[in-house]
Amino acid sequence: MIQVSLDKYTNITKLSKIKIDKKVFSKLPQTPGVYIFWKKVARKKDIPIYIGKSVNLKSRLSSYLAVHLGPKTKKMVKEAESISIIKVFSELESLLLEARLIRKFKPFYNIIAKDDKRPLYIVITKDEFPRVLSARRPKKNEFRAEFGPFPAGKNVKTILRLIRKIFPYSDHLTSKNKLRSKPCIYSQIGLCDPCPNTISSATEKTKYKQNIKNTKRLLQGKFSGVQKDLNTAMKKLSKEKKYEEAGKLRDQLKALNYITQPQIPTGEFLKNPNLEQDVRSEEIKSLSSMLACGGLKPKTLQRIECFDIAHIAGVNPTASMVVAINGQMENSKYRHFKIKQKKTQSDFDSMVEVAKRRRNNIAKWGTPDLIVVDGGLAQVKAFNQIFMEPLQKKKIPVVGIAKHPDRLIFSEGKKVKLTGSTLRLTQRLRDEAHRFARRYHHLLMKKSLYAS
């Protein structure tokens, strides 16, 4: 087996070790992250024998306890004595962190899982208009930059697909090291923009090279730096009244925010394996302070529920309830509601119905410490009308989230602008509630279309 010196990576080796057990795995978080299988060797040192990633740690690790496993996987699980997890915030972060850890530790079962194939890297060429490609074991100084190795070709495709939609680049070969006269097929769908084949001005050349620079920084895990630069450039263009160009940067910024919520360099997870938990704690603390500004002082914010309504002109209205436990979304506790009241275009009446149904299930589903509704004062009053009744043993605080700018709405009409950690947490709640409500709404719409 490959021997690895772990002294340089004390933060990783001091991760909490978890027993490989069905009951233990059932309590793991359903969050993106990286997991490490450990084995004790000489001098009672733990070494990693396999490192993997998943968008759902609980589901992925539970699969290792299945009856039917491949020979190599079965042997690895039998040999492992414990596991550790590092929670992250997005699929992209988990992919990049997994690659960095594999490169540092070279775990035995990651190496043999390649079936003697050479490891896969993402590389940036030294061309005048650098290309972004995948390559097997690149030679030293062969490329401008390289990232990896990645344990699977699928991981590389996922990373490149996510990044290329934000910062288009070229991956096509030139004819005899010369650019062709026609734009490539990818330029027609915005994935090679500007296309090196048609670049004719210094402005286009600068734009292409900036895309390559940002791609490189994302592959290095420098999400926050790219976000800051895009935001600065967007504001500058807006002041210069170059609204179309500013709009393109705004779209890039939105896409980047979506795939990396929040933006934290992967290297930070190596310095502090408990970073995800620390950030969640800071978000809860920040939200608590902001609620106090509106006169709400809940003892704890362990369970936060967020509600949203979805419909099209009152047709097939639905509502969602999503739940965050200690700041982490817990989808096993989510609930859908099919709206039954007749005023289907009235979000207020729909919210009143949902509030009543939620109140009737307090004993069964548990008691929230805070209710967040996607909407303004009317939606807040709809919930307060039910949850602040004297019959309630515990008065549950209710706030709304309004947009443009994002702010909390309190029952008395007071508004508090959302910033920093609180903004991230409330946006995550609202976006998830919106997604979950629309998913059920679309399902009902499909059923209606099939029935007709």
φ and ψ of 129, to 5 deg: -115, 90
List the single range of 330-334, 345-349, 368-372, 445-449 with lowest mean pLDDT: 445-449
Residue 334: per-residue pLDDT: 94
Residue 8: per-residue pLDDT: 39
Cα distance between residue 410 and residue 296, in whole Å:
9
- What secondary structure does DSSP assign to 31-80, as a single string? S-EEEEEEEE-GGG-EEEEEEEEES-HHHHHHHTT-S---HHHHHHHHH-
Write out the H or E segment, with its range, that includes residue 209: helix 202-219
Residue 116: per-residue pLDDT: 46
pLDDT at 408 over 50: yes
pLDDT at 216 over 60: yes
Cα distance between residue 75 and residue 10, in whole Å:
27
pLDDT at 65 over 80: yes
pLDDT at 412 over 90: no
Going across the sheet that includes 132-136, the strands are 132-136, 120-124, 145-150
List the single range of 33-37, 356-360, 447-451 with lowest mean pLDDT: 447-451
pLDDT at 3 over 50: no
- What is the band of 34 on the pLDDT scale with cuts at 50, 70, 90? very high
pTM value > 0.85: no
- What is the band of 174 on the pLDDT scale with cuts at 50, 70, 90? low
Residue 55: per-residue pLDDT: 86
Parallel, antiparallel or unpaired: strands 398-402 and 370-374: parallel
> What mean pLDDT is predicted for residues 129-153?
79
Q: What angle do CA 379, 384, 389 make, to 5 degrees?
A: 155
CATH number of this structure's domain 7-112: 3.40.1440.10
What stretch(es) of the chain map to CATH 3.30.420.340?
279-451
Residue 193: which of 126, 244, 185 has the closest Cα? 185
| Residue-wise pLDDT tens digits, 235-291 | 888 888 888 888 888 877 777 766 555 445 666 776 777 777 888 888 999 999 999
φ and ψ of 123, to 5 deg: -130, 155
| List of residues 6+ apart from 353 with CB closer than 8 A | 337, 339, 340, 341
**CATH fold of the domain at 279-451:** Nucleotidyltransferase; domain 5 (3.30.420)
pLDDT at 45 over 50: yes
Contact 351, 433 (CB under 8 A): no
- What is the band of 7 on the pLDDT scale with cuts at 50, 70, 90? very low
Cα distance between residue 171 and residue 163, in whole Å:
13
| Residue-wise pLDDT tens digits, 312-326 | 666 778 889 999 999
Cα distance between residue 77 and residue 107, in whole Å:
14
- What secondary structure does DSSP assign to 211-239, as a single string? HHHHHHHHHTT-HHHHHHHHHHHHHHHHH
- What secondary structure does DSSP assign to 175-188, as a single string? BTTB--SS--GGGG
Cα distance between residue 251 and residue 222, in whole Å:
19
Write out the H or E segment, with its range, that includes residue 359: helix 347-359
The identity of residue 451, as a single letter, is A
pLDDT at 24 over 70: yes
Cα distance between residue 367 and residue 296, in whole Å:
17
> What mean pLDDT is predicted for residues 211-224?
85
Q: What angle do CA 219, 224, 226 make, to 5 degrees?
A: 65
| List of residues 6+ apart from 280 with CB closer than 8 A | 326, 327, 328
Question: Percent of the chain scored above 90 by pLDDT?
Answer: 17
Contact 448, 330 (CB under 8 A): no
What stretch(es) of the chain map to CATH 3.40.1440.10?
7-112
> What mean pLDDT is predicted for residues 352-362?
90
The identity of residue 381, as a single letter, is K
pLDDT at 444 over 80: no
What is the 3-class SS of 317-353, one letter each residue?
Answer: EEEEEEEEECCEECHHHCEEEECCCCCCCCHHHHHHH
Average pLDDT over all residues of the chain: 81
Cα distance between residue 36 and residue 228, in whole Å:
32
Residue 48: per-residue pLDDT: 92
pLDDT at 135 over 50: yes
pLDDT at 145 over 60: yes
Residue 37: per-residue pLDDT: 95
Question: Percent of the chain scored above 70 by pLDDT?
Answer: 86
- What is the band of 5 on the pLDDT scale with cuts at 50, 70, 90? very low
Residue 387: per-residue pLDDT: 76
End-to-end CA distance of the chain: 63
